[in-house]
Amino acid sequence: PAPAGRGAKGKAKADAGASTDGRGHIHGSFIPPGCDADDSYQDPSTSRNYEDSMVKGFWCPPRLRGRNESLIEAVNDWHFAMLNDANRNQFYFDAMSEVVKGKRVVDIGAGSGLLSLMAARQGASEVLAIEASRDMVDLAQLNIRRNGCENIRVIHDLSNNVKLSEADKADVIVSETLGALMLGEGMLDYLCDARRRLAKPGARIIPAGGAQYAMLICSPTLAMVSSVQSECCKGFDLSAIGSLQDTGNLFFTKQWGFRLNSLPDLVAMSERVPIVEVDFQLTERPQIPATKTFRLEALQDGIVHAVVASWEVWSDSQKTHRITTHPEDTRDEPWGFARDMQWGQGLQLVEDFDAASHSDRNRAPAPFVVKAGEVLMLTVRFSVPCRQTFQFTLRRAANVAAAATAAAAGAAGRR
């Protein structure tokens, strides 16, 4: 199953609420890989040094000795791809243009310092770069010196632990803490906290907003790597193995090692619908409901193999500049491979929800076969408490209506 953010080492800490404790910790939110700014967030699996993770007797590159293994894994997993997504970088450069000049800027999750450097180049009066990894802080400070920027200050901490005087508060907050799922790296939580405590009233937030989308797809090629295909098994019945197919968790396309737009037979089985939209200037976690249901219409006959989750974010309320993870938007672009290797899309396999309740435990899930024009109901369950990931279930509208009628009749009988 997909972790909350881009890589496998970020964690969402489970808790009962969306508030902060006395030390400013955001309950239930994502903790970035390599975070060593606060001992309360660390565990042995994410705070060990690189050399301690190696097979005994293997050579350790000297430049990596003593550095955080979790951070190194994340950098090699997606950070290089992120830095080389030229369209992403241009989005942030354009979004800050004519906004940051003469302003105090706070960069949350500063990483290499790229966005801070952009803000400084565009005339920000002062930039505060906040980064939770000591190794990355050291490298960001080196990058800042090499680029001759003297008005950038780097703080080693999680932004929710930082305190600023009124005079030091930001006119502009910028952050690229977007995951494969839009909110998967805790962006909403950290921005909510920052605009309350680290920003002046009316401060600009970049990006200003975004939407998470879902779409039903059909792809026999996808089915070839996610289910048992009888024609491939030399005449033997191995269908029982299909009973282990995971239709309950969301995965990332990157985890499966392919780009969704590379599937030669991918067909959209529904329109793409926004399942949640946020205004990073205003929205808070409790405003996202735990469950939402959407009415979809099958676009053609076939099997719904999966639900695809992708997102887009925009620079301002007019959506002047925009970036997306929709697979068709990255297909033929020079930066598209980097985008798909750092973010890609979320993917959840689909089975016939109503058939599942009375299916044999050792039988493969029933495929969800639809006819063009058939009305379907897609339910989204957001994770508790963080709302950073979600689960899909798909039903036929006719079955939902029949179940509701039966439940009403049963309730009337009990009265």
Catalytic residue among 69, 131, 176, 312: 176
| Total Cβ atoms within 10 A of residue 114 | 20
Catalytic residue among 73, 131, 185, 312: 185
CA distance linking residue 342 with residue 81, whole number of Å: 6
> Residue 276: what are its φ and ψ, rounded to 5°?
-160, 135
CA distance linking residue 324 with residue 309, whole number of Å: 11
Helix (H, G, I), strand (E, B) or coil at 401: helix
Strands 170-175 and 199-206: parallel
- To the nearest 10°, report the CA torsion of 188, 191, 197, 200: -130
Strands 267-268 and 11-12: unpaired
- For helices 114-121 and 86-96, angle between their N-to-C axes, nearest 10 degrees: 40
Identify whether 374 is a catalytic site residue: no
- Tell me if 64 sits within 8 A of 72, measured CB to CB: yes
The single residue listed with the structure tokens 């700014």 is 37
* 109 conformational bin, left if phi > 0, alpha if psi -120 to 50, beta if neither: left
> CA of 399: how far to CAs of 205, 354, 371, 395, 405, in Å?
44, 8, 15, 7, 10
Identify whether 231 is a catalytic site residue: no
CA distance linking residue 340 with residue 284, whole number of Å: 28
CA distance linking residue 77 with residue 54, whole number of Å: 17
Buried b / exposed e along 12-26 (16+ C-beta atoms within 10 A): bbebeebebeeebbb
Q: Kindly list the catalytic residues.
A: 176, 185
